[in-house]
């Protein structure tokens, strides 16, 4: 009986000691977390001061997505012997100069991808990779400040494809107007005097015109998260058929050192491209601006990201 009482007392004391120790450790952990949060807050404040300093700010991040597979005698699918895959690469880069009286912002976006589906039982099919997504965009914006948040500006922006049909079509916007910069992260460009040069062999489809240019760019870094959203819109004064817009969004979450997970998606509306596709790819010779199906263009890429 005495042994049972002794063992019970020891067990009770051990439980109370463990509970007390666990509570103390949790309390210590909470204090440490509060201290880390306070230190991180001071670091973020210093980073904000650094970003606000005049001079060049340069950076880049990108996404690499791959998926490769090979099947032999896999009878449950339509092509039991095949190899397939897709590869996607996205790069977003910027080089911005900030001074007291002016700024010069430069950015570039590249999104390329290749896909393949090789049916090994069909010797006539295409066994190699072929182009899928093909986006190339660079822009340069110069602004002369008239106030802290508003500037008289000039913009040059060029968009095309580079894997195939380089500069066919290609779009070059040159214009002047005003730029609003409510914060270091957001830039809104409104240029009522803008000429949209369109380069293409299909002169009867692609036409240059005068119009208004609107560009909005938001770039933000919060801890391990990088985010960039860019909207580029041209509204033709000649015809709505010659107007176009493109909106891209890029996310990157750093997991370890410079490596993480990235995601990018883009939307585009361009009636000239839709008509060119209908006539020259689908062979619809009766297609016109009035009857062509101008569906929304989309793409997305998910994969491993790397931050520079």
- pLDDT score at 175: 97
* CA-closest candidate to residue 148, choices 179, 107, 106, 185: 179
DSSP string across 8-23: HHHHHHHHHHHHHHHH
Give pLDDT, residue 289. Answer: 93
Residue 161 structure tokens: 């494809």
* Residue ranges of the chain whose pLDDT lies below 50: none
Rounded to whole angstroms, the Cα distance separating 79 from 100 reads 63
For 27, how many CA atoms within 13 A lie in the half-sphere containing its CB? 6
Indicate the fold that domain 55-307 takes in CATH. Answer: Outer membrane phospholipase (ompla); Chain C (2.40.230)
CB 126 within 8 A of CB 148: no
CB 181 within 8 A of CB 218: no
Give the per-residue pLDDT at 40. 63
Angle at 267 between CA 62 and CA 280, to 5 degrees: 110
Cβ proximity of 262 and 250 under 8 Å: yes
Phi, psi of 245 (to 5 degrees): -150, 150
- Predicted TM-score of the model (pTM): 0.77
Distance CA 96, CA 248 (A): 19
Distance of CA 13 to the CA centre of its chain: 59
What length does the chain have? Answer: 308
Question: Cα–Cα distance between 10 and 71 in angstroms, integer?
Answer: 63
pLDDT at position 202 is: 82
CA distance 285 to 1: 102
Helices (H), the chain: 2-52, 271-280
Summarised one tens digit per residue, pLDDT across range 178-216 is: 999 998 889 999 999 999 999 998 878 899 999 999 999
Question: Under 8 Å CB-to-CB from 169, ≥6 apart: which residues?
Answer: 160, 198, 199, 200, 202, 206, 272, 273, 276
Exposure b/e, 198-229, CB count within 10 A at least 16 = b: bebeeeebbbbbebbbbbbbebebeeeebbbe
């Amino acid at each position: 009986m005495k042994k049972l009482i002794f063992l019970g007392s020891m067990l009770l004391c051990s439980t109370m000691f463990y509970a007390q120790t666990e509570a103390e450790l949790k309390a210590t952990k909470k204090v440490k977390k509060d201290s880390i949060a306070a230190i991180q807050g001071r670091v973020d404040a210093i980073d904000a001061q650094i970003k606000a300093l005049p001079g060049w700010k340069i950076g880049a991040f990108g996404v690499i997505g791959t998926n490769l597979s090979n099947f032999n005698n896999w009878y449950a699918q339509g092509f039991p012997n095949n190899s397939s895959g897709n590869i996607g690469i996205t790069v977003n880069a910027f080089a911005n100069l900030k001074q007291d009286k002016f700024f010069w912002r430069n950015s570039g976006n590249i999104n390329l991808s290749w896909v393949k589906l090789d049916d090994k039982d069909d010797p006539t099919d295409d066994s190699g990779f072929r182009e899928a997504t093909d986006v190339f965009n660079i822009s340069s914006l110069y602004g002369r400040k008239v106030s802290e948040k508003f500037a008289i500006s000039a913009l040059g922006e060029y968009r095309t494809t580079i894997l195939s049909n380089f500069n066919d079509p290609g779009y070059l916007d040159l214009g002047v107007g005003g730029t609003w910069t409510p914060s270091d992260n957001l830039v809104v460009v409104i240029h009522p005097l803008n000429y949209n040069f369109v380069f293409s062999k299909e002169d009867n489809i692609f036409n240059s015109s005068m119009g208004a240019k609107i560009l909005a760019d938001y770039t933000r870094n919060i801890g391990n998260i990088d985010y960039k959203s860019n909207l580029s819109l041209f509204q033709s004064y000649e015809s709505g058929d010659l107007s176009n817009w493109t909106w891209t969004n890029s996310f990157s979450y750093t997991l370890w050192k410079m490596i993480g997970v990235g995601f990018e998606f883009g939307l585009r509306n361009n009636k000239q491209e839709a008509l060119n596709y209908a006539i020259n790819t689908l062979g619809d010779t009766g297609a016109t601006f009035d009857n062509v199906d101008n569906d929304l263009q989309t793409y997305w890429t998910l994969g491993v990201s790397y931050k520079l």
